[in-house]
Amino acid sequence: MSSDAPLPFTHYPLPAGTSLSAHFARGQDRCGIYVLTHEDGTKYVGRTNDVVRRCADHVRHAGRATGERIVSVHFAPVPAAELVRMEGEVVGYCEDHGMRLRNKLLTGMSFGPSPLDATVNEAEQLAFLTDEAPEQIPDSWLRASSGATPKKNTARLLARADVSSFVDAFACYLFYALPDPAGTEGRFWMLTAPYQRMRNGHRALARLTVQNVETLVLLEDERGTYLVTNLAPYPAVRPEYRPEVIGNYTSNGPMQNLALEAPVTASALVYDPVFRTAARRAAVGLMRKGPCAQGRHHDRALADAVYTRIHDLLKETP
């Protein structure tokens, strides 16, 4: 790990037949973030309260599963309360520096084959995660209206006086945050209009779910209407968005959770490259784990309205 890493890592080689315990004195701090390097150069980032014990588990599992070795460990002590946040930062740092990670959580481009590869190849996924020129998105990644008839909830949603603001936000999310939305629609992501009263008093008016995580949700309560967005934990968005890091998404680890007015969400996706990168990293990482479980509930009529708005916005762009 280079000197610009987010933590002061110490490198420990692991020759065959050796243990990390040889490098740690009794009472030495073992709580922190570790980065394993495998024989093929791929890495794994993890957090632990005892790196010696955890590393031994990894070595045994790698030997049994594939016969390959873990050749080294980088470790940095971190207080227990900071483990979740720092794990995300180190994962982001590794991805920013072109390292291929074996992590299945937190990452945009996890190592190994993915069901997504058949629709969006790895080179396209990587370019999408690193491309700072969103106007280069291929036309083939969009579709025309399907002509689907809106169901009752969708018709009620699209009849609202504020429809343009939140349709704009969903349009920006599809265009700027999802790789090949037309090709992955209904399989890796789905859009629904539940008009559902939740236990906490919110009403969910529309949901965009990637794999099995709600990444963009239109909510209404006594404060009015707003969008909740879930982003990858790294890079960290600007403090004025008031992000909260929540760790209860077991399928993807911690995420940055933001509650913003629809125009703010749309603007952030278009003009804030850090926000856009965090959105893309979350979406691609989730898609790489496979199709969503409830794709049959995808609302094509609502998606039609969003695609139509994307085409309108593209015509308005000089």
Q: pLDDT per residue over 110-138, tens digit each?
A: 777 899 999 999 889 888 887 766 667 78
Residue 208, pLDDT > 80, answer yes
Percent of the chain at pLDDT exceeding 90: 58
* pLDDT value, residue 249: 58
pLDDT digits (tens, 9 = 90+) for 31-42: 999 999 999 899
Give the chain's mean pLDDT. Answer: 89
Q: How many CA atoms lie within 13 Å of 297's alpha carbon, on the beta-carbon side?
A: 15
Burial class of residue 31 in the structure, from the number of CB atoms within 10 Å of its CB (0-12 exposed, 13-18 middle, 19+ buried): middle
Residue 157 pLDDT:
95
Cα gap 151→192, rounded to integer Å: 10
The reported pTM is 0.80
Indicate the residue type of 73.
V
Tell me the pairing of strands 224-231 and 213-221.
antiparallel
Question: Does the pLDDT at position 248 exceed 60?
Answer: no
Residue 228, phi then psi, degrees to nearest 5: -105, 125
Distance CA(98)–CA(51), nearest Å, equals 25
Q: SS3 for 178?
A: coil
